Structure 1
């Protein structure tokens, strides 16, 4: 990659659903470091993606990261803001995490990135006192594979509002996907001998985070290039969903009301209860019955305030058991199995699309689970040659993002996850077009294919078309880029077709009538799509990086 003369440092940001972190490297030596100093934490490679606001109507952040879960705010009744990243996703609105009515998720993201930016500045200036983080740093932000295209534009706006960047469309903020960054990291963990052995072969990267799991199959084209083989996939089945199964288990023992009341009135105790489960049960669980010793959850000792929330027959039963709840082997296994089963189905889906895949890399924080590793090895040992968990898998995305920022030529091609097209006009055809679609000019507005889902596109590959105005006196032409998961879209407003962006090309030479040609080009050079148009008659050129449609955007 060619840098502007001002770039000195590349920072890779892993903005996660439950935990976030960053890595960085100076271009003078490219040795990657991962931040391990956070508010109230030292030695941790990530901190919690959590905010706690001051008593000012969500105007200012009181605590962020780990302290947001552990410190007492000025308003004890206020819960920390969590899981707000999932509002970027395309999951149904009814399943998205709760946010207070007067807090938009764009603001929560911007506020968190602002605090993260302060930590980045501190880390960089401590190591390199002369570095100006606003002008001499290239940020690479990783996005989950299953998130919609609009998420990148929203994150760019949030990064601008967070003062990570000083111009909205600056090249100093770039994007990669989480599985792409993880694949680059895995590639760089291979020895020279391994690299030689795997050239020409494909490998699957399974990024198991807290909220999401992302997958992509890549091919090692040569020692310095990776190609994409399959469409990126993912789902909401990360490690925190095991925590949710634990909470469901507790609800059976103490009652839904008791858990709801604890969460509402004593959130710190609620979180401590989950953290104790993670530390004592979830992390050490191997899935081997002989390894497991029944865990006695002592409510009086670990979460005494929960006692005050339990009522009725459940309270009587717990009193008889001295407020101890046993977590047996099958209980814990049943907490993991629904989540792991989803991950296994995702892996099968990827491997079914490429039967030459020879290795599976497991990365992300949840990949450190011994039971997850065990289940995946049992399921796929006979299907692939090797299943590997690289060193420090929790840092894979951030460190891979740094590598990508230093050398974008590592990525040779990508597989399109969507079908792209544009709105255009063609003559009405009574045999295929409903009469209500016919315009006064005798034309119909239709979806014109530019690039189909599943197409392997080279970096900087372009797709082009030409068109003419609908009317002789038309002074401008409107171009709208459309996106869909359908492969055979016909009209711009049919189900599943969404507008991605638009711009207008001026057509001043009305004396030429309809004989005015406009050239249109779509480029997939980077993760953000660029479009170009040219008025062939007068040579005027138009260029845009699509500012994706964001409904109700208001920070």
Structure 2
């Protein structure tokens, strides 16, 4: 039974979700005896008779931006403050994980990036928000160790943070730096890619832990299966094959999109806004924040549990104050707004209950389901994944009977496998990954990676506007090919790169990525994105002596690493990435 070569007496995983978050842990001694003996602490929900294994990804800070509460406690405290009209000086921030999604194409991710609270009038540094959230879970784990008398020193804890496989390198670095600010040593931290973690967990559990007993069997060598990790914000997809040594290799680069559960929430909000009006909805959110939060909390439960095949109408508990608020603002009967709505024949609003038709409820899921199904069809038609016969559904959104039914209907030729608690598969798998990070033996490069470089100008090959002296600038010097397969700790050497000056103490390289189908030629190409700099330390030499370095990009892990070798003494020198630069190099 494999255990990490770096010995840790305890592994604690923090599953940071868009809508809900949680943590789990197991000692190395327990892992060796029983890999699935993983503790998942539970939370008391506002409804005292319910127990949850996750808590809302919601943070409450005071006017000085100091931590007040997280999760259900943050929701309850803020609701009370709002009802007493004492919430103005507080920061209530929820579902902030989506800020880090697809940061290459949206705004640039930096340590100075700000995030708005629920009022959209106040801002906090995003890295502070993530720091507070991670520190909250770190504190819970350390308290558990003390309360249970486990006798574990923090230096002997391996911390695992889950991140979507589709996240960019800057987003991953952002999370690790937030964790360091939260007090976690970088040497004790690893990132687990969410669909990979779920795959590892489902590899381990017996058939009885799958719905309808429809499990993956013993994961025989050569087995190919797709992992559909449908979370709150994003849907994250990988395709794995079981190798001869029972590790897993990636067959197609991780992919996905923003088709998670919040996509359904947004459709529901658009439906309400269509007849309540955006003005009333925003004012209601501002003046009655507690009821606004409760409204969407109740919808969250309906979204995850409602099976429309047994219903003609779906009943959603609503706040009775919203109709009153509408009439006060619009000086118009609320019933008239319902009657004038294009949904008038599909809904009834009775007191604190909204009764809608099965068809209308399913429409909220339409955009998310279409996005997922279309993407799965594209993926499963690729030659590399031929022979894949199973779709493994995990993540909180995979609990939805509507999503399950859609996947089963559109992919009837595939075996659809769902563990009993799909929302915990990532969390439990992250603990297993912490004990054995080598279980994923091969991964696929998602992008072309390159260094901004120069070449001798060739009028037959290069654009005239790129000519600088006798050189061509802005060359995309390819370090890694998109779609290339890398075994764990595989290195891709590049160089040598020579210094420009005798007094140089370090060399900086601009790193670019591209998702284009063809190899990029220039870093200024449309599909190229600057992601940061690589800084390499240089040795001291005699004046006039030339220095150069070879760079080795280390792939195959969950994060991109690098080491460099200098030509003076052939020693490995310090090299580090900075993907969170404030400034982007000017485009020539």
TM-score by length of 1: 0.88
| Equivalent residues of 1:273, 1:303 under 8 A apart | no
| Alignment partner, residue 313 of structure 2 | 294
| Alignment partner, residue 533 of structure 2 | 501
Provide Cα deviations, 1:429-472, integer angstroms capped at 9, x if missing partner. 22233444334564635221111111111111111123252658
Matched, 1:106 2:127: yes
The count of residues paired between Structure 1 and Structure 2 equals 536
| Alignment partner, residue 458 of structure 1 | 487
Matched, 1:32 2:42: no
| Alignment partner, residue 432 of structure 2 | 403
Q: What SS is found at the alignment partner of 1:113?
A: helix
| Alignment partner, residue 205 of structure 2 | 189
Matched, 1:153 2:173: yes
Matched, 1:86 2:115: no
Q: What SS is found at the alignment partner of 1:230?
A: strand
Unaligned runs of 5+ in 2: 32-36, 109-113, 209-214, 340-348
Higher mean C-alpha deviation, range 103-112 or range 528-537 = 528-537
| Alignment partner, residue 362 of structure 1 | 393
Report matched runs for 1:113-152 at 5 Å.
113-132=134-153, 134-152=154-172
Q: What SS is found at the alignment partner of 1:141?
A: strand
| Alignment partner, residue 75 of structure 1 | 86
Superposition deviation, residue 420 in structure 1: 1.4
| Alignment partner, residue 233 of structure 2 | 211
Matched, 1:250 2:272: yes
| Alignment partner, residue 532 of structure 1 | 563
Provide Cα deviations, 1:114-170, integer angstroms capped at 9, x if missing partner. 1122122223333343123x312101111112221111111111111112x14xxx3
Higher mean C-alpha deviation, range 517-526 or range 398-407 = 517-526
| Equivalent residues of 2:197, 2:430 under 8 A apart | yes
In the alignment, which of 379, 382, 387 is matched to residue 410 of structure 2? Answer: 379
| Equivalent residues of 2:535, 2:576 under 8 A apart | no
2:511 & 2:316 partners in 1: Cα distance? 56
1:51 & 1:523 partners in 2: Cα distance? 36
| Alignment partner, residue 541 of structure 1 | 572
1:442 & 1:215 partners in 2: Cα distance? 42
2:446 & 2:52 partners in 1: Cα distance? 34
| Alignment partner, residue 34 of structure 2 | none
2:160 & 2:522 partners in 1: Cα distance? 36
| Alignment partner, residue 53 of structure 2 | 45
Q: What SS is found at the alignment partner of 2:176?
A: helix
Q: What SS is found at the alignment partner of 1:277?
A: helix
CA-based RMSD of the aligned residues comes to: 3.0
| Equivalent residues of 1:150, 1:549 under 8 A apart | yes
Higher mean C-alpha deviation, range 214-223 or range 409-418 = 214-223
Provide Cα deviations, 1:40-69, integer angstroms capped at 9, x if missing partner. 77731100000122233xx21222101222
Provide Cα deviations, 1:325-378, integer angstroms capped at 9, x if missing partner. 431111101112222111212221221222311111111111111111111101
Q: What SS is found at the alignment partner of 1:112?
A: helix
| Equivalent residues of 1:179, 1:207 under 8 A apart | yes
Q: What SS is found at the alignment partner of 1:282?
A: helix
CA distance 1:275–1:480, shift in 2 (3 Å): closer
Q: What SS is found at the alignment partner of 2:263?
A: helix
| Equivalent residues of 2:19, 2:56 under 8 A apart | yes
CA distance 1:70–1:93, shift in 2 (3 Å): farther
| Equivalent residues of 2:240, 2:250 under 8 A apart | yes
TM-score by length of 2: 0.83
1:128 & 1:17 partners in 2: Cα distance? 33
Q: What SS is found at the alignment partner of 2:574?
A: strand
2:115 & 2:411 partners in 1: Cα distance? 33
CA distance 1:248–1:189, shift in 2 (3 Å): same
Matched, 1:15 2:36: no
Q: What SS is found at the alignment partner of 1:131?
A: coil
| Equivalent residues of 2:241, 2:250 under 8 A apart | yes
Higher mean C-alpha deviation, range 492-501 or range 218-227 = 492-501
CA distance 1:93–1:433, shift in 2 (3 Å): closer
| Equivalent residues of 1:531, 1:543 under 8 A apart | no
CA distance 1:223–1:85, shift in 2 (3 Å): same
| Equivalent residues of 2:21, 2:57 under 8 A apart | yes
| Equivalent residues of 1:472, 1:510 under 8 A apart | no
Q: What SS is found at the alignment partner of 2:162?
A: strand
2:223 & 2:425 partners in 1: Cα distance? 21
Matched, 1:341 2:370: yes
Higher mean C-alpha deviation, range 349-358 or range 448-457 = 349-358
Higher mean C-alpha deviation, range 348-357 or range 501-510 = 501-510
Higher mean C-alpha deviation, range 309-318 or range 232-241 = 309-318
Provide Cα deviations, 1:215-237, integer angstroms capped at 9, x if missing partner. 11011114630010011111111
Higher mean C-alpha deviation, range 392-401 or range 62-71 = 62-71
| Equivalent residues of 1:481, 1:499 under 8 A apart | yes
Superposition deviation, residue 39 in structure 1: 8.3
CA distance 1:257–1:314, shift in 2 (3 Å): farther
1:403 & 1:49 partners in 2: Cα distance? 23
Higher mean C-alpha deviation, range 415-424 or range 261-270 = 415-424
| Equivalent residues of 2:298, 2:316 under 8 A apart | no
